[in-house]
Structure 1
Amino acid sequence: MDDVILSYIPVEKIKIGMRVSYSQTITDADIKAYAGLSGDHNPVHVSQEYAEESRYGRRLAHGLISIGFFSALFGMRLPGPGCVYVSQNMKFKKPVYIDDTVTAIAEVTDVNIERKRVFFSTNCYVKNKLVISGEAEIYIP
C-alpha cells in the first residue's frame, strides 16, 4: 500500500500493509539537544576529536534519535493521537552520522482488534540502506 497520512484511525480500520514514513536530516544541534535531554554525552557523539580516533572516523548520531521518529509516526499519523507504545525492539545495523537523512518506515504487520493492538515492522534507512530494523506493538485505547 502507499503511504497514508492520517491524524487518527480506529483499530477496526487498520489493515496489514498500511505504512507511514518520516524523513529527517540529523544535525549537530539534534545530537547536542539529545545529549542534553538524555544525559548521554558519550564522546563518540559529541566530540569530533574523539570520534575521529574511533573506528567510525566521525561523530555518530545517538541511535535513539532515529528510533524516536517512530513515536511521532505512531502518535501523530498511524494510528494517531491517543495510542500508546507497548513495546519496541531494534537492531542497529549501520551507524548514522551527522548530516545523514534518516527515513523511518512503519508498516502494519498484524492487527488484534479484540485486544486493540497493532503490530508494526519498524525500519530506518539512510541512502536506501537499512540502518535500524525492529518491531513495535501499539495499543489503541
Structure 2
Amino acid sequence: MYFSLCETNECPQNLADYQLTYAFEFLQAEVASFAELSGDNNPIHIDEAYARETVFKRPIVHGFLVGSIFSRIFGTQYPGIGTIYLSQSMKFLAPVFVGERYQAKITVKEVNLQKNRAVVSTEIFNHLMKKVLTGEAVIQHPIFH
C-alpha cells in the first residue's frame, strides 16, 4: 500500500482547525486480503469479469477498507500511539478503485480539554479532488489537554 504525508497546516496539533492530508492507494492483493479477513467476498470487489458488468465497470474497494485509512492515521500518525478511536461516521459518495491515488484529509473540528477528546472531520478525495467519502470521528488522546 502506498501511504505518504502530503501536507499539514501551521495550526497547533491540539487545537481546532489542525489539518493533515495523506496520499494513499490500495492494491488488489490488499482488497483480496480484506475480503478473506472480513468474509465479504462480494464479487464487485474481487472479480474483474463480474465487475465489468456493473455500473462501475471494474472492481471497487470495500468501503470499510477505505475508511480504515483513518484508523491508520489516528493510531500511528496523528495523534498517534495511545489514541482511542471512540466513533466514526462515514458516507460513501463515490467508488474507490484499486491502483488509483487518493487523499485522506482530517480536520480537527472541536477539542474537549476536560475529556482529552477531539471531533475530527474525515474526508477522502480522488485524483480530481472529488470527495468520495465524508465522515466524522471522535478520538481521545493526551495531546488534547
TM-score, length basis structure 2? 0.85
Three-state SS of the structure 2 residue aligned to 1:50 is: helix
Deviation readout 1:41-74 (Å, 9 max, x if unpaired): 1000011111111111111111112211111111
Match of 1:18 in 2: 18
Partner of 2:47: 47
2-structure distance, mates of 1:31, 1:49: 16
Q: State the alpha-carbon separation in 2 of the partners of residues 90 and 52 from structure 1.
A: 26
State the partner residue of 2:135: 134
Aligned residues: 133
User: Does 2:123 match 1:118?
Assistant: no
Q: Which consecutive unaligned segments of at least 5 residues does structure 1 have?
A: none
Alignment of 1:50-65 (within 5 A): 50-65=50-65
Q: Which has the higher contact order (CA 8 A, sep 6+)?
A: 1
Deviations 1:74-132 (A, max 9, x none): 11222111011110001100001121212111110000010111110000011111000
C-alpha distance in structure 2 between counterparts of 1:33 and 1:59, whole Å: 14
Distance in structure 1 (CA, Å) of the matches to 2:26 and 2:64 = 12
Q: Which amino acid aligns with 1:41?
A: N
